[in-house]
Chain A
Amino acid sequence: MNSVIKSVAYTLVHAPDLVIHAGTTQTTERIVNPESEYLKQLPDALRTFEQAVNYAPNQAYIGGMTPEGLAEIPMPWYENAVKASRFGKFGEIAPQEELYLMMQICDCFDLVMLEAGFVSGVVKASEDHPLFTMSIVSRIKAGVEFGAIEAEVTNNGAEGLYHGGKLVGCVKKAHSIDENLSAHVILENLVSKATSVLSLLHLTKNAGIDPASIDCVIDCSEEAVGDMNQRGGGNLAKASAEIAGFIGATGNDMRAFCAAPVHAIISAAALVKSGTYKNVVVTAGGSTAKLGMNAKDHVKKGLPVLEDVLGGFAVLISENDGINPEILSEYVGWHSVGSGSSPQAVITALVTDPLDKLGLKITDVDKFSPEMQNPDVTKPAGAGDVPEANFKMIGALAVKRGEMDRADLAGFVEKHGMMGFAPTQGHIPSGIPYLGHGREDMLAEKITRAMFVGKGSLFLGRMTNLFDGASFIVQKNTGGAETGSISEEQVRGLIAEALRDFAKSLGGE
């Protein structure tokens, strides 16, 4: 029996000082052009926490509004703020100071130093936070004197943690010569861990589940955790599960650039369906490197720095309960080594190959969720509207396959797609942002099925020129009782397969 999407959590952290100090566009600029106008203009282009909260795409991401609600707000969204809460149906938008505190909470090796006054101020301001339970609060350390932090940054190569331009803490290096344990790497890894933990805590609350009942966590974020003897050793999943109180869980990390989350969901669904585990969580934290990735274009065009949030999500996949939407594990799509890299070959492998196995047409899928990058961010940077381009390609393939009239192409984008609302955090936009809304839409019987597509640029790692991608279909629960009977979809799939074999046998004669 198929496993189900039991619960989801989506979180963002507004991190304006990390944009300046940890985003690679900015760290690169400081090396190649330290006196640039861009670096001087950057601080004034950063948004406040309130602006990030009231930014409509961020609200769509955390479930504060639906994708349909977002589509009603005119673009550019940065000029049309909404009045919103930092908490949404799926999670929250947390401020930078809480991230630093969460990094301290997640630090098991005394590598994070926060100034004592800063710690007490953040603790006081966050005492009503619904997730600050005893087990989390008991991990908070009192903090240190400012002089000790300054000395670490000045003399020992620690990475400063800034808030409002002021030094409030640091992350120390964890080894004297190992680059994989440098302060920079430890900072990246701790941010990834802290944002993943934030999502895991929200997931536990949203699912109403005992944390001890989670059997396995798969981390699909972007960082490599390890040392000089094993740079990508892992296991960020288990490290995050520890802080979240998942005492019964094992875990492992899956990496495949931006396609990793879809690979992880496919694996988690199969692990539950096979009976190996009952409850598997797929989790991802945010990437500091990608903060302000396109900020040069944004600043040049007089826009605020829109890539000022770290993204995170967590998805609970459990045994079929007869209620929650099912993941069709036997009908996943993948881009194989031999698939070819033209857009047509990619969309065929990811979208139509699994649909053909099911005996379905492209138009039988109510909603597609490909890369869901926010076009407010990408269009001014010259990268176009990524989700719209994907919907157009899928629609064009439907036309080529004779499943739709060419005249219906524009309508297809609106009907089977949606506006992108995810921050450009690499793995975060890739398919998963709609999983929460899609689950709600299926539970409310608004749609029957949705397809989630992740793509990854493997060539960035210089080990292969190959592209990568994978997809899965989620559909409304069929009632789920374990009767052993086969579903209507399966019957259609079997008929389609039989017809194809028949046609092949005719062709062969």
Chain B
Amino acid sequence: MDLENQKRVKEITEAHGAENVVVVLGAAEGEASGIAAETVTAGDPTFAGPLTGVSLGLKVYHICEEEIKSEVDAGVYDEQVGMMEMVLNLDEIAAEMKSIRDQYTKY
């Protein structure tokens, strides 16, 4: 995850409390989604950014996962994400996200 984004996630969590923060990802495939999810839960696995060794344990979802999709207005979702949904490997992304949440999410 981009170092600047790691810094933002850390600051938002400090300001609002980890239990009140949900991170929504838009990564294009499973592995990248998994790395980003791991970064905001267990800590930066690349040991490069502000979340190195910081286990925030945040709730984290991909925009295409049903939990988030069902929260979004269907028309807006179709306009903003519909095209990408056709392109992405949704099962792979969902499996990776669930695996990370099961291991590291604390909330």
**Chain B residue contacts of A344, Cβ below 8 A:** 79-84
B86 contacts chain A at the CB level, 8 A cutoff: yes
Considering the chains assembled together, what is the distance between the CA atoms of A382 and B30 in angstroms? Answer: 10
Q: How large is the interface on A (under 10, 10 to 19, 20 to 34, 35 or more residues)?
A: 10 to 19
Note all chain B residues with C-beta closer than 8 A to A384: 28-29, 32
Question: Please, which residues of chain B bring their CB within 8 A of the CB of A383?
Answer: 32
Determine the main DSSP class of A at the interface with B.
helix
Which of B79, B80, B86 touches A406 (beta carbons < 8 Å)? B86
Interface flag for A232 (CB, 8 Å) = no
**Which residues of chain A have C-beta atoms less than 8 A from B28's C-beta?**
384, 389
Contact of A343 with B83 in the complex, beta carbons under 8 Å = yes
Residues of A within 8 A of B82 (CB): 344, 400
Chain B CB within 8 A of A168 CB = no
* Minimum CB distance partner of B31 in chain A: A382
Known A-B contacts A344-B80, A344-B81, A389-B28; A382 and B35 likewise in contact (beta carbons under 8 Å): yes
Question: Interface stretch among A93-101, A257-265, A390-398, A426-434?
Answer: A390-398
A345 at the interface (CB under 8 A from B): yes
Nearest residue in B to A386 (C-beta to C-beta)? B28
CB-defined contacts of A397 to chain B, threshold 8 Å: 83
Contact B81 A396, beta carbon cutoff 8 Å: no
Q: How far is the CB of A495 from chain B (nearest CB, A)?
A: 27
The reply to whether A400 and B86 contact each other, CB–CB distance below 8 Å, is yes
A123 touches B (CB below 8 Å): no
- Interface hits, A368-405 → B, CB 8 Å: 382-384, 389, 392-393, 396-397, 399-400
**Closest Cβ–Cβ distance, residue A172 to chain B (whole Å):** 33
- Bound complex: CA A400 to CA B86 (Å): 9
- The answer to whether B87 has its CB under 8 Å from any CB of chain A is yes
Q: Does A435 belong to the interface (CB within 8 Å)?
A: no
Q: Is A347 an interface residue (CB 8 A)?
A: yes
Q: Mark B65-107, 1 if CB is under 8 A from A, else 0.
A: 0000000000000011111101100000000000000000000
- Asked whether A39 is an interface residue with its Cβ less than 8 Å from the other chain, the reply is no
B69 to chain A, nearest CB (A): 14
Q: How far is the CB of A421 from chain B (nearest CB, A)?
A: 21
A229 at interface, CB cutoff 8 A: no
A57 nearest CB across to chain B (Å): 22
Instruction: Point out which of A344, A345, A384, A393 has the most chain B C-beta atoms below 10 A from its C-beta.
Output: A344
| A116 interface residue (CB < 8 Å to B) | no
Whether A382 lies near B32 (C-beta < 8 A) is: yes
What residues of chain B lie closer than 8 Å to A392, measured between beta carbons?
87
Complex interface bits, B20-34 against A, C-beta within 8 A gives 1, otherwise 0: 000000001101100
A293 nearest CB across to chain B (Å): 14
B80–A396 contact, CB under 8 A?
A: no
Decide if A409 is an interface residue (CB 8 Å cutoff).
Answer: yes
**Residues of A in contact with B (beta carbons under 8 Å apart):** 340, 342-345, 347, 382-384, 389, 392-393, 396-397, 399-400, 406, 409
The 10 closest A-B pairs by CB, nearest first: A396-B86, A344-B83, A342-B80, A392-B87, A396-B83, A396-B87, A343-B84, A397-B83, A393-B87, A400-B83
What are some 15 contacts across the A-B interface (CB < 8 A)? A342-B81, A343-B83, A344-B79, A344-B80, A344-B83, A382-B31, A382-B35, A384-B29, A384-B32, A389-B28, A392-B87, A396-B83, A396-B84, A396-B87, A406-B86
A396-B83, A397-B83 given. 8 additional CB < 8 A pairs? A340-B80, A343-B84, A382-B31, A384-B29, A396-B84, A396-B86, A400-B86, A409-B86
